[in-house]
Amino acid sequence: MEGNETGAARTRFLLLCGVIAGPFYLAVGLTQALLREGFDFSRHPLSVLANGPGGWIQTANFVLTGLMVLAAAIGFARVPGRRSWGMTCFLGAFGVAMIVAAVFPADPVDGFPPGTPKGPPTTISTTGLVHFAAGGLGFLSLGISCFFAAWAMWRRKVSLAIVSLLSGLAVLLGFFGGIMSPIGILGIWFAVVVGLAWLAILSEKSRVAAKCL
């Protein structure tokens, strides 16, 4: 019994990381955005905060959030009835993508940090290209993870399945629609908030389920 209780406690801790990941990432990122000169919510993603003085804070934010997402993915794999290897693998891939994005920061863009020319960049560095690719693959993985979660829960928890399905659509349409349409950065902001909110909701629901193990 003690071993089972210890295992359940570890599972709940891993899932707690999924609850915390989104609020942590947004709190750290938004605080920087409000305090750092030149940042404009309508023109800049949080990733550009990795540039300039204090950029290490956003780099650390990416790494810590990515590690928490990886922990949550492991936690989901330990909960009977919520286990989906597709969901776990793709959610883990999203966590890895965040860490890669930290190692390869985005290029300065559109007036941030101060001194950067206004408007879209005319060139992109290798580092910036890797960051962009990591972001695209990361959000693709997050959206697919939502779909796997919806499939796994459809017969047991229809409400969470619907939330997962709609969240996956929102993540993919928001991120890739933002890149390819006039809504631009607003679509990316939408994808970030919805995706991390989905992770927090599903992690908390799974923590409750883990208490019954």
* Residues 6 or more apart in contact with residue 113 via CB below 8 angstroms: 36, 37, 38, 48, 51, 52, 53
Give residue 183's pLDDT. 64
Q: What pLDDT score does 119 carry?
A: 80
pLDDT digits (tens, 9 = 90+) for 69-80: 999 999 999 887
What is residue 82's predicted lDDT score, i.e. its pLDDT? 55
Say if residues 180 and 190 touch (Cβ distance below 8 Å): no
pLDDT at 209 over 80: no
Confidence tier at 1 by pLDDT (50, 70, 90)? very low
Residue 42 CB: number of other CB atoms within 10 A? Answer: 8
Residue found by looking up tokens 């972001």 in the block: 135
Per-residue pLDDT tens over the stretch 149-199: 999 888 778 999 999 999 999 999 999 987 776 667 888 999 999 999 999
Q: Cβ contacts of residue 199 below 8 Å, gap of 6+?
A: 18, 21, 22, 69, 72, 91
DSSP state of 175: H
Radius of gyration of the chain (CA): 18
pLDDT at 104: 97
**Is there a contact between 89 and 142 (Cβ–Cβ < 8 Å)?**
no
- How far apart are the C-alpha atoms of 101 and 69, rounded to whole Å? 14
Among the listed residues 90, 77, 96, the one whose alpha carbon sits nearest the alpha carbon of residue 15 = 77
Amino acid at residue number 133: A
8 A C-beta contact, residue 178 and residue 126: no
**What is the tens place of the pLDDT at every residue in 99-152?**
999 999 999 988 899 988 988 778 899 999 999 999 999 999 999 999 999 998
18 pLDDT higher than 80: yes
Give the CA-trace dihedral at 138, 143, 147, 148, to 10 degrees. Answer: 10
Query: What is the structure's pLDDT at 181?
Result: 65
CA distances from 138 to 121, 150, 204 (A): 23, 19, 22
> Whole-angstrom Cα distance, residue 152 to residue 140?
19
Residue 15 — very low, low, confident or very high, per pLDDT cuts 50/70/90? Answer: very high
* Averaged pLDDT score across all residues of the chain: 90
The residues spanned by each domain of the chain are 2-210
Look at residue 3 and tell me whether its pLDDT is greater than 60: no
